[in-house]
Amino acid sequence: MSAASDHIRKDETHPLIRALAIVVLFCLALPAARGARFDGFAFVNDDGTLNVRNRTMHLYGILIPPTEESCYFFEKPAPCGPRAALALKFNIGTDFVHCNTRSRNTDGSYVAVCEAGDEDLAAELLRQGWAVALQDAPFEYQALEKIARNRAIGVWGLAVERGKRRLRR
């Protein structure tokens, strides 16, 4: 074989290697469900999920039960909504939210650990009694739920309904 034919053969394999490299780089550039990070201003939905950068985030390790609606009339305009969602809005305040995804749901939403102002939002809702720790949640979450139950706060506390007070357990 001559040097010219070796040169042609090298050029023939070069596009194949180049195409393979492009495919590998493309796959590496796709956001993974676990470990993708979304930062930005968060909108709190009535079910306690967050919208961050047009993506829905469920807080990892907790369930936010439906609660009665309340309004904070001392603020203008008065924010209204389920008590747990209002507590979440209050915890976020004007901070940006930083969410590290753990998994992606079939509907395209994410399960994520989200923080605002260096506070874990799920842990804060548990501490205030507005959430229930899931079975596979970290030990810290389980302990925070038990403390809120024992202190009878949030969903574990006294609820005011139609002028009556009753214990919710």
Q: 3-state SS string over 109-134?
A: CEEEEEEECCEEHHHHHHHCCCCEEC
Q: Which of 167, 84, 168, 89 minimizes the C-alpha distance to 129? A: 84
Q: Could you report the per-residue pLDDT of 97-149, keeping only the tens digit for each? A: 999 999 999 999 999 999 999 999 999 999 999 999 999 999 999 999 999 99
CA distance 48 to 28: 32
Name residue, tokens 């603020």. Answer: 75
In CATH terms, the fold of domain 37-167 is OB fold (Dihydrolipoamide Acetyltransferase, E2P) (2.40.50)
Ramachandran class of 108: left when φ > 0, alpha when ψ lies in -120 to 50, beta otherwise:
left
Cβ(35)–Cβ(99) under 8 Å?
no
Q: What are phi and psi of 26, to 5 degrees?
A: -60, -45
The more confidently predicted of residues 30 and 126 is 126
CA distance 57 to 45: 10
Checking if the pLDDT of 49 tops 90, the result is: yes
Question: Looking at residue 14, what is its pLDDT?
Answer: 60
Question: Looking at residue 65, what is its pLDDT?
Answer: 86
Domain boundaries, the chain: 1-30, 37-167
Q: What are phi and psi of 160, to 5 degrees?
A: -105, 120
pTM as predicted? 0.70
Residue 84: Cβ within 10 Å count: 25
Structural tokens at position 16 = 């194949």
